[in-house]
Structure 1
Amino acid sequence: MKPVSATLAFTVAAIGIATYSTMDVLMKGLSIASGAYSAVLWRSVAGVVLLGPVFVARRRPWPGRAALRLHALRGATAGISVVLFFWGLARVPMAQGVALTFLAPLIALYFAAALLGETIRRGAILGSIVASAGVLVIAAGEVQAHASTAHVLGSIAIFAASIFYAYSLILLRQQAQVADPLEVALFTSIVLGALLLIGAPWFSGLPTVAQWPQIGAAAVLGSVSAMALAWAYGRAEAQVLAPVEYTAFLWSALLGWWVFGETVSLYTTLGAALIIAGCVAAVRGHAAPAPQTEAAA
């Protein structure tokens, strides 16, 4: 794999986050109208239809056993994460929902310790305390605003989604070592779509004609974002790219205000700042080796 500068990898990842934030707007609208399960299912199907022909036309070899195992595992993990996230996002302001996902890079450090044998540094423990204070501040904002039950459940769902997303970040880094960005994006959509189709008769319905353009646009944006992030994570360490996740807060605040008329409370802003500070403190000076897969070892 040809080496690139950390700046280029960071820039590509930033584009991926901006693209994903735009997709969030479409997916929130679809989730409100038809439910998160249905929105994620049909976006995944559209993603397969979009990327499948490109994969075949390029005559790419079929993934090996190690790559298929990673694709299946990350597809399932990402599936749980994304359904929980969009279910919650349909019930809370975008900026608040995205702020809670910022816990993922911090949680990923603990997954790396458990799965990759990395040492949990003192900075990670301190960062955890600071980030936890940020979550409590956001929760205090909900109490102060007398948030509805749906609002509280939405926040809990997004918090749970961040845990699964953290694990998917570890898997993404491993995927990027054995597969190119197109393969990663395609097989994630294949696995996710196949799993969701199992429950479709009970939890989903067919989209309306008016919804298909939104689904198609979400699939395009999601695929571009997935390939950009896979490309970046394949060429730079997670510690270099982790801060780029925080740019999503600015995008979500702007797009949430523009499209849904949402405002960002002082509690959410302060909580997000504490979470970001905690994550920065946790990864500062951390120089862990890239995760290795069986194929890469």
Structure 2
Amino acid sequence: MTTTATAAKAQRQTNNVSLGVMLMIGATVVFALQDGISRHLAGTYNTYMVVMVRYWFFAAFVVFLAMRAPGGVRATARTDQLGLQILRGVLLAGEIVVAVYGFTILGLIESQAVFICYPLLVAALSGPVLGESVGWRRWMAIGLGLIGVMIILQPGAGVFNPAAVIPFVSALMFAVYGLLTRYAARRDSTATSFFWTGIAGAVVLTAVGMWFWEPMVGRDWLWMGLLCVSGVAGHWLLIKCYEVAEASAVQPFAYFHLIWAAFLGVWVFGEVIRDNVVIGAAIIMAAGLFTLWRERAKG
């Protein structure tokens, strides 16, 4: 590697935490907006169709990035673990469908309050999936976080609504996706994984979603366009965030997503924040922050 290339690489890896935090908070704002638009559209049109159109733009975005990368699309797409990359992409596409469906059934607030347990699920599954060591302190945090989930779901309070499990299934799918991404990163670059995430998801959703196509009114096409743009903008902000700052430093600010989702849920969709959701979400966030702190301390 030349001196110039080394200096450029060092510049890209500078740890500008304040800028990284701003980018992460910006990403959470955009993703919360995306969730709100998804809930609106999926409440009127088929969920498969909504997510399919969103993925078309996502796929176009990853192809655009690949074309600008050294070696172009061919170099970016090259991998010797294609099956794993396709599995990752399909799993994330399925997770988004489940999450958006959950928004229409439970609303933004309760869905996001349960979904934020996914870092704890990643920690719990990192042992059996990746062979990583999980100490007793992290296991206690995982157990505490799951107690928070139970407080939100209230399985023993009156008639339990099975639909309340939907965001937990979404969180579990996203956790497995995250672990598979870590596994793929041992041999593939971030650009390659990102490329196949968009392409595989777009292909499988097109194969399914075209069977559920519904005509949309002009006003909702505007919302769909905003949904697609927000998806691209959110991913761009997240990519830039991890370029300028260490993940462990900015990851705690990802919990702002729940705050913005709560604002949208209350003021736009008329949702009500129940006491058990506040208590459960606070427990989950505390456990998640502790787990992130332990990972950073070990690192």
Alignment of 1:222 onto 2:231: yes
Mapped to 2, the partners of 1:272 and 1:58 lie a distance apart of 40
1:227 Cα deviation after fit: 2.7
3-state SS, counterpart of residue 294 of structure 2: coil
1:38 Cα deviation after fit: 1.6
1:159 Cα deviation after fit: 0.5
Contact 1:185 1:223 in 2 (8 A): no
Contact 2:58 2:232 in 1 (8 A): yes
3-state SS, counterpart of residue 263 of structure 1: coil
1:39 Cα deviation after fit: 1.1
> Kindly tell me: are residues 236 and 68 of structure 1, through their superposed partners in 2, closer, same or farther at Cα, counting changes over 3 Å?
farther
Q: Which residue of 2 aligns with 1:166?
A: 175
Q: Which residue of 2 aligns with 1:65?
A: 79
Q: Which residue of 2 aligns with 1:26?
A: 37
Instruction: Tell me whether 240-249 or 157-166 shows the greater mean CA deviation.
Output: 240-249
> Kindly tell me: are residues 91 and 44 of structure 1, through their superposed partners in 2, closer, same or farther at Cα, counting changes over 3 Å?
same
Mapped to 1, the partners of 2:185 and 2:21 lie a distance apart of 18
User: What does residue range 177-256 of structure 1 map to in structure 2 within 5 Å?
Assistant: 178-180=189-191, 187-233=196-242, 238-256=247-265
> Kindly tell me: are residues 128 and 14 of structure 1, through their superposed partners in 2, closer, same or farther at Cα, counting changes over 3 Å?
same
Q: Which residue of 2 aligns with 1:293?
A: none
Amino acid at match of 1:39: V
Amino acid at match of 1:160: V
Q: Which residue of 2 aligns with 1:82?
A: 96
Contact 1:172 1:230 in 2 (8 A): no
Instruction: Tell me whether 278-287 or 235-244 shows the greater mean CA deviation.
Output: 235-244
3-state SS, counterpart of residue 90 of structure 1: helix
Mapped to 1, the partners of 2:284 and 2:238 lie a distance apart of 22
Amino acid at match of 1:37: Y
Mapped to 2, the partners of 1:15 and 1:71 lie a distance apart of 28
Q: Deviations over 1:245-283 (max 9, x none)?
A: 211111011111121111211111111001111212333
Amino acid at match of 1:110: A
Amino acid at match of 1:135: V
Q: Which residue of 1 aligns with 2:59?
A: 48
Q: 2:137 aligns with which of 104, 114, 123?
A: 123
Amino acid at match of 1:98: Q
Amino acid at match of 1:136: M
Mapped to 1, the partners of 2:45 and 2:84 lie a distance apart of 30
Amino acid at match of 2:58: G
Q: Which residue of 2 aligns with 1:4?
A: 14
Q: 2:272 aligns with which of 260, 263, 271?
A: 263
How many residues get paired? Answer: 283
User: What does residue range 100-139 of structure 1 map to in structure 2 within 5 Å?
Assistant: 100-139=114-153
3-state SS, counterpart of residue 14 of structure 2: coil
- TM-score when normalising by structure 1: 0.82
Amino acid at match of 2:284: I
Structure with higher Rg: it is 2
Mapped to 1, the partners of 2:278 and 2:155 lie a distance apart of 10
Q: Which residue of 2 aligns with 1:39?
A: 50
Mapped to 2, the partners of 1:230 and 1:288 lie a distance apart of 24
1:285 Cα deviation after fit: 2.7
Amino acid at match of 2:228: A
> Kindly tell me: are residues 36 and 120 of structure 1, through their superposed partners in 2, closer, same or farther at Cα, counting changes over 3 Å?
same
The percent of aligned pairs where both chains have the same amino acid is 20
Contact 2:92 2:174 in 1 (8 A): yes
3-state SS, counterpart of residue 119 of structure 1: coil
Q: 1:13 aligns with which of 24, 27, 31?
A: 24
Mapped to 1, the partners of 2:248 and 2:255 lie a distance apart of 13
Amino acid at match of 1:4: T
Amino acid at match of 2:149: V
Mapped to 1, the partners of 2:156 and 2:224 lie a distance apart of 31
User: Structure 1: which 5+ runs fail to align?
Assistant: 291-297
Mapped to 1, the partners of 2:54 and 2:287 lie a distance apart of 33
Amino acid at match of 2:220: Q
Q: Which residue of 2 aligns with 1:95?
A: 109
1:287 Cα deviation after fit: 3.8
Q: Which residue of 2 aligns with 1:294?
A: none
